[in-house]
Chains A and B, each alone.
Chain A
Amino acid sequence: MTIKTRKETISTAAASGGVALLVATRKGAFIFKTDKARSAWKISGPMFFGHVVSHMLLDPRDRRTLLAGARTGHLGPTVFRSSDFGKSWKEAAKPPAFPKAPEGQKGRVVDHVFWLSPGHPSEPAVWYAGTSPQGLFRSEDGGDTWAPVSGFNDHRMYSQWTGGEKDGTPDGPKLHSILVDPRDARHLYIGMSSGGVFESLDKGAGWKPLNSGCRVDFLPDPFPEYGHDPHCVKLHPLAPEVLYQQNHCGIYRMQRPEGNWVRIGTSMPKTVGDIGFPIVLHPRDPDTVWVFPMDGSSVWPRTSPQGKPAAYVTRNAGRTWQRQDTGLPRSQGWLTVKRQAMSADAHQPVGIYFGTTGGEIWASKNEGRNWACIARHLPEIYAVEATELGR
């Protein structure tokens, strides 16, 4: 296996201020804050109590605006926006929605807004949203009004790429991992569960599959053009030619402009495997990546293998992996971590955080070497986004 890597660590200043964790749960959203020591945490919330909040994100361009994708079990999907870091919220005037179908035809209905991504820094009011079922939406006014990205949603291959409803995740097929190339606002990636990874070079007008080399073990053809199940795809912000994905069928890395995924999870311990949901990148070193493996054997329990939870880190782009379980339960720890529920801060050393479906948040302020549980008894956690409160 040949992996081209950038061995040098890109030099950029580490953050030194406080950190906030934006926590989205099945019953509302919470914000955890800590100071630069990252030792004691203060919790605020719940916000949107009783709403299913799939994702909450800070706008990295103004560092004040928060967006949250929410619905309740009974009300339709929407997006909320805060311009004061969560003190007050305003609902989008026009949430993401598919166009009304012509009379006599069945139209698509957004079930929930699953993923939010800020646009390119050169487009400070642009946001993207991914929905269930798979839909891509764009806002050009900071998240107040949303329009379908027709180039994807109405693509002639949409039905083939996205498959049927049976091909999705248990609570609906999803479009996620909307990535904007920091070098070019027109260059976008998306991930779909299921569907695979797709790329646009013209701001969403045209799309092509980007799944070469990625295995599918649930289809007759193990290397199809599309139909894959990427769980989480990341692009390194300082080395945007490097992509990683935690896939349903392993951990992969891609070096652009080549378009071939290389499986880097084969060097994981065989008893652990390389199945999981989240994947987290070091903010300054594109060769350092964390994953949180889960049991993908047999009937897919989706819990920590053998009940012994651990993160795994590679510092050489996947050639080798090290287990990181100090502080985590040594046995009978059946944790499940969803695809948006693990993230990193920008400190030195980097802080790593993950939330579980059992309502716990675990934190490491030394890049995974030691873990501490900083919250228990929260609702089922869907997303944990670490963000800096100051540099």
Chain B
Amino acid sequence: MKVFIPTPLRSYCGERHEVEASGATLAEALADLDRRYPGIRFRMIDEQDGIRRHMRIFVNGREVRALDVPLGTSDEVMILQALSGG
């Protein structure tokens, strides 16, 4: 499946804005992403499997709040950041 990568995380994947990952759930896809691009997962998912504050993950345009969402091979995962602060 295609995964859209936001600018703050592109240093992990050769500055690409879109990469491939596979998995039957979002958790598996993120684990695969981390295998391909080590370290990327922990910057957006904390050690309790929570999506970090300001991180937003969308599957086919719908926001998801947990990692157990099932995925198909044609699904599109979009990772975004809702920036705030100064």
Binding-face segment, B14-22, B48-56, B57-65: B48-56
- Chain A: CB-nearest residue to B38: A93
Binding-face segment, A98-106, A218-226, A332-340: A98-106
Please tell me if the beta carbons of A76 and B44 are within 8 angstroms of each other in the complex: yes
A95 close to chain B: CB less than 8 A: yes
B43 close to chain A: CB less than 8 A: yes
- Chain B: CB-nearest residue to A73: B85
A107 partner residues in chain B, CB cutoff 8 A: 47-48
A185 close to chain B: CB less than 8 A: no
Q: A74-B52, A76-B52 are in contact. Are A109 and B47 (CB under 8 A)?
A: yes
Number of interface residues of B (CB under 8 A): 21
What is the 8 Å Cβ interface bit string for chain B, positions 31-48, against chain A (1 contact, 0 not)? 000000011001111111
Q: How large is the interface on A (under 10, 10 to 19, 20 to 34, 35 or more residues)?
A: 20 to 34
Please tell me if the beta carbons of A74 and B55 are within 8 angstroms of each other in the complex: yes
Q: A74-B55, A91-B39 are in contact. Are A110 and B44 (CB under 8 A)?
A: no
A341 close to chain B: CB less than 8 A: no
A109 partner residues in chain B, CB cutoff 8 A: 46-48, 50
B interface, CB within 8 angstroms of A = 8-9, 38-39, 42-50, 52-55, 81, 83-85
A75 partner residues in chain B, CB cutoff 8 A: 8-9, 43-44, 52
Please tell me if the beta carbons of B81 and A99 are within 8 angstroms of each other in the complex: no
Chain A to chain B: the 3 pairs with minimum beta-carbon distance, closest first? A97-B47, A75-B43, A107-B48
Q: In the complex, which of the residues A91, A99, A106 contacts B47, with contact meaning CB atoms closer than 8 Å?
A: A99
B9 partner residues in chain A, CB cutoff 8 A: 75
A78 close to chain B: CB less than 8 A: yes
A107 and B47 alpha carbons, distance in the complex (Å): 8
Of the candidates B9, B42, B47, the one having the most CB atoms from chain A within 10 angstroms of its own CB is B47
- Chain B: CB-nearest residue to A101: B48
- Report B31 CB to chain A, min CB distance, Å: 14
- Chain A: CB-nearest residue to B49: A100
